Amino acid sequence: MLRAGQGRQTVKIASAVAPDGAPAADKSSALVRVAYTLTTTPKNGRPRHSSEQLALRLEHTSKGRRVTDLPLA
């Protein structure tokens, strides 16, 4: 983790898919696993790349789909 002014972090999404064994998405909610590459570039030094992933629970609201949970998966 970088503190403000120490460098920059960027993310490139590799995929967004339903996790294995997750219930099918419906009109009210969906589970999504997002895989991404995190690039950390300090002010001094070489960039570091790491492959990461997280799971999101999306629910349909009057304003569209919103993240409502980050379940452990």
User: What is the percent of the chain with per-residue pLDDT over 90, rounded to a whole number?
Assistant: 68
Note whether residue 64 is domain-resident.
yes
pLDDT in tens, 19-45: 888 888 898 999 999 999 999 999 888
For 9, the 3-state DSSP assignment is: strand
Q: Distance (Å, rounded) from C-alpha 54 to C-alpha 38?
A: 12
Note whether residue 58 is domain-resident.
yes
Q: Distance (Å, rounded) from C-alpha 52 to C-alpha 38?
A: 7
What's the pLDDT at 71?
86
Q: Over the chain, what is the mean pLDDT?
A: 90
Q: Distance (Å, rounded) from C-alpha 14 to C-alpha 8?
A: 19
What's the pLDDT at 5?
73
CB 37 within 8 A of CB 11: yes
Q: Distance (Å, rounded) from C-alpha 30 to C-alpha 60?
A: 9
What's the pLDDT at 49?
97
Q: Distance (Å, rounded) from C-alpha 70 to C-alpha 28?
A: 17
- What is the domain count for the chain? 1
pLDDT band at 6 (very low <50, low <70, confident <90, very high): confident
Note whether residue 2 is domain-resident.
no
Section 40-61 average pLDDT: 93
